[in-house]
Amino acid sequence: MIRRLRVATLMVGLGVSVAAVAAAQGPDGAALFERECVRCHNGAAESRAPAVDVLRRRSPEAILASLTAGSMRPQGGRLDGAERRAVAEYLSGRALGGDVSGIGNARCRVNPPLALAGKPMWAGWSSASTNTRFQPAPQAGVTAADLPKLTLKWAFGFPDATSAWSQPTVAGGRLFVGSQNGTVYALDVQTGCVLWTYTAAGGVRTAPTFGSRPGSSAHALYFGDTGANVYAVDADSGELLWKRRVDGHPFARVTGTPTLHDGRLYVPISSLEETAANQPGYECCTFRGSLMALNARTGDVLWQTYTVGLPQVMGTNAAGTTLHGPSGVGIWSAPTIDVKRRIVYAATGNTYSGTAAAPTSDAIMAFDLATGVVKWTRQLTAGDIFGCRAGAPNCLEKVGPDFDFGTPVMLTTLADGRDLLVVAQKSGMAYALDPDREGRVLWEYRAGQGSIWGGIQWGAAVDREFAYLPVSDIRLDTPGGLHAVKLATGERAWYHAPPPLACGGGAGCSAALISAPSLIPGVLFSGSNDGALRAHSTTDGTVIWEFDTNREFLTVNGVRATGGSIQGPGPTIVGGMLFLNAGYGDHMGRAGNVLLALEVP
């Protein structure tokens, strides 16, 4: 009640119209929040929903956008327009109608046409569509010897954001990055000035994948949002080329970065239906994961292959709500292209509901590039049905461990010429699979104990010698730790124990390694939940350089910005520069909203 009065007073103070104040005297935002939101946004340690103090840092526009077009669309759909506005103003403590662009005075004076010639790049989730996250020396332009000289060049603040969660991509001297409020930015790599922006309907946490625009000499960016829309925009201007809703399910979203190959865009589709499944009245569950191939020129669907069959009615729960299954098996990470075998690989998540877990869940699936036909499936955790909390009405008696794959398949070639698929799972396990024998397991390695937030969460990296496995284990007593494993044998090469914390303690300050690491020859970069980016020697794991993001940064666009937990993407290393997103307000992390550009002078 007090807060509502504060909003109304603030609005009068700002001289907004009487009509706007009258509207604010409509539905009671606080009461709506209690009724519709607090059961998930209650700050409980096991909740995946951001706590109220994190939501307070978002603008009313961002909250409204989330309720109408983003990941809270199903919840927003239960309210009418006035109610959605009331709850957004109540939560943010501010009136709607503010500026959301966050460009400030940072617009570039000129926007010359994109010139790729001779310029290095990092074009998607990984430096290449094999998803190894290895950037070769000529493209990186940074060596181990340069690291002591690496210094901050500019910082950019994401407005209305508590997480900096999109992998930056770089091509032709431009940096492209998505953001939580749906704005995709094209920045000049030298200065951080803004060349253009495009506003998507939902939050954009995929990398903007850069590539040619089929049928023309121009280039495009391809990305997905939390409302399950996929976009292609012109790389020079940000102009929309096409947009497609790839899944009609209310909880569907695109989390993994789409992979571009040979004029086709391969899109992984996941969902947050699991979070709704705890409500006794929710008909659990009907989402099914899929991989989709789109024509990159037009956005037309070439094929879509579902990971599970059509959900059937399975009876009712104790509350009398109809239950459906099989369901789930979302794809959370970027698809991987195997040009030699004409295959696209995807790593899948758990089953949500069903009489038995789908044989395709927590698995690696190999799809024919041209047709989408499934060539083989290698399940690595069986029986993982997780759509609910133990004891909830929609749960089977035994709840699965929630051991999705959040990391993509990595395709690498050993020194002896053999190809290997390396995968790392929320279970804390890593595996090497033989691509020529339907994914037969060649070795397995336990890096972490595993939990619903990893294990190994968003990424690992490989070169030709080792696989590098950062461990989250954030919910356990001893989070963190970095492992290097010999690719040829699966034996441990070295282990680096969690270093002293860069954050001062308190909620969200932990050594968990949740973000994807990145490699250049001889150096592994790993961002930690403690807010530090560390460079490890690939020979023995020694920390050879460290950068602490736990502070406020002066930003080129004037948006107040701090670093924080590093989760999700890892650093992008291109042309003598390193770009890093820091801050993550969900999943037991500390909020932040900064993009940092470091350079070897």
Residues found near ligand HEC in the complex (CB under 6 A): 36-37, 39-41, 48-50, 55, 58, 63, 66-67, 70-72, 75, 87, 180, 203, 226, 272, 275-276, 586
CA distance 270 to 278: 18
Residue 10 C-beta: closest distance to ligand HEC, Å: 19
Largest distance between two CA atoms of the chain: 75
CA distance 176 to 595: 11
Residues 467, 474 contacting (CB under 8 angstroms): no
Type of residue found at 50:
P
Residue 576 has which token pair?
Answer: 């003598």
- Smaller CB distance to ligand HEC: residue 66 or 132? 66
Residue 99 C-beta: closest distance to ligand HEC, Å: 18
Residues in the chain: 601
Give how far Cα 95 sits from Cα of 91, 205, 402, 592, Å: 10, 26, 39, 23
- Smaller CB distance to ligand HEC: residue 70 or 289? 70
Residue 259 has which token pair?
Answer: 């992979």
Residue in this structure with the two tokens 């020979």, named with its chain if needed: 539
- Smaller CB distance to ligand HEC: residue 475 or 534? 475
- Smaller CB distance to ligand HEC: residue 179 or 557? 179
Residue 235 has which token pair?
Answer: 């790389």
CA distance 250 to 227: 8
- Smaller CB distance to ligand HEC: residue 58 or 483? 58
Q: How far is CA 209 from the centre of its chain?
A: 13
Residue 86 C-beta: closest distance to ligand HEC, Å: 10
Show the CA angle centred on residue 447, arms to residues 449 and 572, nearest 5°: 115
Residue 305 C-beta: closest distance to ligand HEC, Å: 25
Residue 104 has which token pair?
Answer: 């400030």
Residue 6 C-beta: closest distance to ligand HEC, Å: 18
CA distance 292 to 254: 11
- Smaller CB distance to ligand HEC: residue 132 or 275? 275
Residue in this structure with the two tokens 């560390």, named with its chain if needed: 534
Give how far Cα 250 sits from Cα of 77, 231, 276, Å: 10, 18, 11
- Smaller CB distance to ligand HEC: residue 180 or 348? 180
Type of residue found at 393:
P
Residue 429 C-beta: closest distance to ligand HEC, Å: 25
Q: How many CB atoms lie within 10 A of CB 406?
A: 26
- Smaller CB distance to ligand HEC: residue 40 or 302? 40
Residue in this structure with the two tokens 């007090």, named with its chain if needed: 2
- Smaller CB distance to ligand HEC: residue 27 or 480? 27
Residue 181 C-beta: closest distance to ligand HEC, Å: 7
Residue 224 C-beta: closest distance to ligand HEC, Å: 13
Using CB atoms within 10 Å of the CB of residue 298, give its burial: 0 to 12 exposed, 13 to 18 middle, 19+ buried. middle
Residue in this structure with the two tokens 């970065």, named with its chain if needed: 257
Residue 374 has which token pair?
Answer: 């499934």
- Smaller CB distance to ligand HEC: residue 34 or 540? 34
Residue 21 C-beta: closest distance to ligand HEC, Å: 22
Type of residue found at 153:
K
Residue 421 C-beta: closest distance to ligand HEC, Å: 28
